[in-house]
Structure 1
Amino acid sequence: MTAAEPSRLPAEAEADRAPAPSLRVEAEALLAAAIAAVSGGVVGLIIGLLGVGVRLWGDASLASWAAAGAGLAAAVSSALGYWRARTTDGQEWRRRIASWRYVVSTASVVIAHGALAMIGTVALFAVLSRAFINVELTAFWTTVLAATATGLSGWLSYLSASRMTTQRLTTLLVTFIGIGTLAAMITTSDPMWWTYHFSQLGTFGDMSSFLFNGTLIAGGLLVTTFTLYVSHDLAALGEGPRGIRVVGTALAIMGVMLACVGIFPVNVNMLLHNLSASGMALMFLLLLVGGPWIVRRMPRAYFLASWAFLAGLLVSIALFATGYFGLTAFEIIVFALIFGWLAVFIRFMVVADQPEPRS
């Protein structure tokens, strides 16, 4: 960078890498929203006329119908948006990846958007049911509410998938894992699950277990998609082939191990469950401790942050070993450290080509 060239802000650097907003994307997002809203409105009208979903919450309520419609709208819209985005500037590299990897990445993006739309819709109707207690909806309101839920889901999901970058994928991953896990905690049939361990949430065979295990499996798929973007960005940063290969492989293993934690709950196969969790933790340690030798292009501030995460991990291990807190708290802390580190890693990778601030 020459003296005459102004230094770019991190936000500007991110904008250079992200697909720029375009008239085509905005128009297609509105079209997706319109189609989803009309489809949802028709279903809502039928539900209202038949009188099968006139309550906001409970069995056979509008909430379940709207959540299903919102999830479907988000899934279809995100799939179309993600596929269409391959032709935008800066995203051409996605057309060169193997077909199976593109299918996996698309599936993970679709599942995450669909699940978030469903959970968000359920949460919205839960709040509305507390505000309008015992209200019975007419056909007009079932139509309006269903159309709104599906239309918003289709619109937001199309925009999100159309502008996917490494940083936005990280946000999607962390949000999806966090909301899915919280939803499992809230809906669990055993309010004392936390007295056992975190993985207890996946052992009940009910909706909460489906949410918990499904979140881990879909989250694992998202992490494998994440490796495609990270490898591409590290190459653009000028990182060596060895560093790119090690980081990509470690993150891919973390994704597979995270999915296996959900595939093998402790009540199905405790050995495979524990091996999967341990494998994910080992890859995390590898990237934390080996960072200075693996990713040499990352700034010094990132390595300081990594050592802070390592210190937090060691302190939590010591506190758990001394009985200061239980296994559930320890698992939640480690979980938060792993995904917190991922977010920090991506933030620093985006601005790694910027000059470090003077002390």
Structure 2
Amino acid sequence: MTAPSPTSPAVPASSGAPPARPTLRAESEAVYAALGTGVVGALWGLIVALIWPALPLSGEDWSFGTAAAIGAAIVAGAASGTGYWRSRGLTGQEWRLRLSSWKFTVNTTSVVVVHVVLAALATLVVYLVLSRGFIGLGVSRFWSITLMAITLGLTAYLVYLSVSRIDTQRMSSLLMAFIVIGTLTAMVTTPDPQWWMIHFSHLGSFWALSSLVFNGTLIAGGLLVTTFAVYIAADMESLVAEGKLARTGSPRFVSVLFVVMGIMLACVGIFPVNVNLLLHNLSAMGMAVMFLVLLASGPRMLRGMPRTYFLSSWAFLAALVVSLVLFVAQYFSLTAFEIIVFALIFGWIAVFIRFLGVTGQPDSASTRRSSARPPAA
């Protein structure tokens, strides 16, 4: 096994090192952040109670849940930015110290945006559910202070720990959660309840909050995919250095394709169908092409990955071809085809990351059989 060169990234969590976990310092800082933010939350709760007494927990207009979501978004932005910056030197993440300033800025921006949006949406959902259990309840001054302190303090704690142990698999989970939650939010808030009768991209064609959420999700998701590519490159370079992947050029090749895919995804949101149909369609097709290239080039560029991974990749490719045939045969609508392709792309990303994390690891059954075999005479 060859040792990594001095310029290679440190071995990240997914290539055999222990999974990224928050250290004592990160745990302590998360608690301090929660306590400090809880005090700020109490002050924000007092201000809300004084200006808007007896607010409902949730509603279509201004509500306590809306005020809490705004506070959670601000707290998540501060906690994620600070935590991500301070976690660069933790075990398994030292390679981030060698990133160029613009790459680190893009990575930090995408991580912050995702945590801000998830924190805001999660807070809105929590208070929406609470409002269904306490119908007609107006939030008093005491509960405004208490609930806001708990909401903002818990947000700071969870977000700080999340960014302190980000690795490729956690980044993949964040990407999936962000895309799914953002898309579902746009679906349930769209002004046209029959949007699905036209096409998926119709969600982003309104001058309304729902379209802002939909297009913003695609733009931020694309930015996160480009960040994702940096983590994938680091993992694959470690696997190449350890001799687990055969082709030395595979990390750069795969990461560039992911970057292009991320740019194309962002452009789908930047150019909605009602703004520029041509650029919108070209961006969507470009994303699909990058997906196909990643699948088709796998046997050559990813030699060393488990055989099961390649079987699953061909299954994704077959599902894509079958979906295209059924769409051409008018078995289902354009909306259904777009959603299927969307799901296949992000489903494959999740599978790819899971197999990347176990590449080169010995099979436990084989290990047990070899250890039980008597030594040769």
Q: What TM-score comes out, normalization by structure 2 length? A: 0.89
Following superposition, the deviation at residue 18 of structure 1 comes to 3.0
Q: Deviations over 1:165-192 (max 9, x none)?
A: 0000000000110111111111111111
Q: Residue 254 of structure 2 corresponds to which residue in structure 1? A: 247
Partner Cα separation in structure 2 for residue 15 and residue 272 of structure 1: 42
Q: What aligned pairs does 1:74-113 form with structure 2 within 5 A after superposition?
A: 74-113=76-115
Residue 20 of structure 1 and its aligned partner are, at CA, apart by 3.1
Partner of 2:319: 312
Match of 1:321 among 314, 319, 328: 328
How far does the alpha carbon of each residue in 1:8-32 deviate from its partner, in whole angstroms, 9 at most, with x for none?
xxxx977824333321111101111
2:29 corresponds to? 28
Tell me how far apart the structure 2 counterparts of residues 194 and 149 of structure 1 sit (CA, whole Å): 35
| Corresponding residue of 1:45 | 46
The match for 1:175 is 177
Whether contact under 8 Å (1:320, 1:326) holds in the other structure is yes
CA distance in 2, matches of 1:315, 1:124: 40
Shift in CA distance, 180/15, structure 1 to aligned 2, threshold 3 Å: farther
Measured after TM superposition, the shift of residue 145 of structure 1 is: 1.7
Q: State the one-letter code of the partner of 1:316.
A: S
Aligned residue number for residue 124 of structure 1: 126
Q: Which amino acid aligns with 1:133?
A: I
* 1:297 shift after superposition: 2.1
Which stretch shifts more, 108-117 or 21-30? 21-30
CA contact (8 A) 1:237 1:297 kept: no
Partner-residue secondary structure (3-state), 2:17: helix
Aligned length in residues: 349
User: CA 1:98/1:316 → structure 2, altered by over 3 Å: closer, same or farther?
Assistant: same
- Rate the CA distance shift 1:34–1:242 in 2: closer, same or farther, 3 A: same
Checking the alignment, whether the CA contact within 8 Å between 1:63 and 1:122 is kept in structure 2 is: yes
Q: Structure 1: give runs of 5+ residues left out of the alignment.
A: 2-11
Match of residue 6 from structure 1: none
2:284 aligns with one of 277, 283, 287? 277
Question: Where does residue 339 of structure 1 map in the other structure?
Answer: 346
Deviation per residue, 1:142-163 (Å, 9 max, x gap): 1122122211111111000000
Aligned position for 2:206: 204
Mapped to 1, the partners of 2:58 and 2:195 lie a distance apart of: 25
Paired position in structure 2 for 1:19? 20
- Which runs of no fewer than 5 residues in structure 2 stay unpaired? 2-12, 370-377
The residue aligned with 1:349 is 356
Give distance in 2, aligned partners of 1:228 and 1:297: 20
C-alpha displacement at 1:325, in angstroms? 0.8
Give the AA of the match of 1:279. G
CA distance in 2, matches of 1:118, 1:236: 36
Letter in 2 for 1:27: S
Cα deviations by residue, 1:209-247 (Å, 9 ceiling, x for unpaired): 111011101100110000110001001111433211210
Structure 1 residues 53 and 254 mapped into 2: Cα distance closer, same or farther (>3 Å)?
Answer: farther
Q: Residues 147 and 296 (structure 1 numbering): CA distance in 2 closer, same or farther, change over 3 Å?
A: same
Largest Rg, 1 or 2: 2
Match of 1:236 among 235, 238, 261: 238
Residue 142 of structure 1 pairs with residue 144 of structure 2: yes
Equivalence for 2:7: none
Three-state SS of the structure 1 residue aligned to 2:73 is helix
Q: Aligned with 1:266: secondary structure?
A: coil
Separation in structure 1 between the aligned mates of residue 158 and residue 209 of structure 2, nearest angstrom: 26
Q: Note the alpha carbon deviations across 1:263-300, whole angstroms, 9 max, x for none.
A: 11000001010000000000000011110011112111
- The percentage of aligned residue pairs carrying the same residue is 54
Matched with 1:68 is 70
CA distance in 2 between partners of 1:294 and 1:222 (Å): 23
Moved more, 112-121 or 130-139: 130-139
Could you say what the CA RMSD is over the residues aligned between the two structures, in angstroms?
A: 1.7
User: Does the 8 Å CA contact 1:52/1:60 hold for their aligned counterparts?
Assistant: no
DSSP 3-state at the match of 1:16: coil
How much has 1:34 moved relative to structure 2?
1.5
Distance 2:18 2:218 in 1: 29
- Code of the residue aligned with 1:46 in structure 2: it is I
Name the TM-score, length of structure 1 as normaliser.
0.94
Alpha-carbon distance between aligned partners in 2 of 1:194 and 1:73, rounded to the nearest angstrom: 35
CA spacing shift, 1:135–1:312, aligned 2, 3 Å: same
Contact 1:75–1:113 (CA<8 Å) still a contact in 2?
A: yes
Give, in whole Å, the separation in 2 of the partners of 1:127 and 1:14: 41
2:10 corresponds to: none
CA distance in 1, matches of 2:151, 2:262: 31
